[in-house]
Amino acid sequence: MFHSNAFKHDALIFHPPTQKWRTSSECVWEAKRGFATRFILADAYPDQKHLFHECLKIPNADADMVLQLIVDISRRNIVRDASAVSRLKLLLLALSCHLAELPDFEGQRKIQKLEGQHIIPVCRMENGVRTTKLMRLDWDFWFYADSKRHFEAFSDTEVWLADFPYSQWYDMQHLYVAGSKVFRRRERRLSKAAKETKALRKSLELNEYWTNVLASKGVFLRRYDKCSPA
């Protein structure tokens, strides 16, 4: 008789990447990129799906599992724990990837579990010092720097930004879309929320050389205009 319960309580599964023995409850069979809180077995034992996934009932990581881990980790005071914040970021990326594969109504229903939870790592500069904290998906005043231009323009300001590089916006946008539909908060994308104005950093000066060059082309521009169809 196969006693799968023994694997839940005793570390009987060797995990090659960490070179340690694990219990089945510490593991998942397959997981999305970024899932870093449990140990993934499919990569280490690709030919043993029947044993681990079917016999031992080790599950795949899904949106519900990732959601619960996000809630659990956010309930702790992790702001000063860099490794815990990094794990939270990876879980948020994994959640966003899961949401991309779910019907809209199902993803939005799951996101409701995050109401009131401080789960989004954000940062800003205060008096030359980088400050980090966790904010809510459903309320607080923060933004996504969703392009390189906006990331560079706002990264050293006092605006609270989601603490993700702009290069990860493509993966994070699924979480953003679901959160926007459920909580109906203000626009969080800087590319949409920020208003751009032009400002001269120095006074204008006439460049006589280029003025004369352009003037010399005037006769050709007049001829082109006369030849253009009405």
Residue-wise pLDDT for 111-152, tens only, equals 999 988 899 999 999 888 888 899 998 887 899 998 898 998
Considering the domain architecture, whether residues 71 and 87 belong to the same structural domain is answered as yes
Considering the domain architecture, whether residues 40 and 83 belong to the same structural domain is answered as no
- Quote the pTM value: 0.73
Considering the domain architecture, whether residues 48 and 129 belong to the same structural domain is answered as no
109-111-115 Cα angle (round to 5): 115
What is the pLDDT at residue 103?
92
Considering the domain architecture, whether residues 47 and 89 belong to the same structural domain is answered as no
- The closest of 166, 163, 167, 173 to 150, measured between CA atoms, is 166
The parent domain of residue 87 ranges over 63-193
pLDDT above 50 for 193: yes
- Report the DSSP beta bridge partners of residue 126: 129
- Report the DSSP beta bridge partners of residue 42: none
Considering the domain architecture, whether residues 46 and 67 belong to the same structural domain is answered as no
* Percentage of the residues of the chain whose pLDDT score is greater than 90: 21
160 pLDDT band, cuts 50/70/90, is: very high
Considering the domain architecture, whether residues 130 and 86 belong to the same structural domain is answered as yes
The residue written with tokens 């990860």 in the block is 168
Could you tell me if residue 41 is inside a domain?
Answer: yes
Instruction: Please state the rounded mean pLDDT for residues 72-96.
Output: 85
Cβ contact 69:37 at 8 Å: yes
- The closest of 166, 75, 160 to 122, measured between CA atoms, is 160
Considering the domain architecture, whether residues 43 and 110 belong to the same structural domain is answered as no
- Strand, coil or helix: 31: coil
What is the pLDDT at residue 18?
86
**Total of domains in the chain:** 2
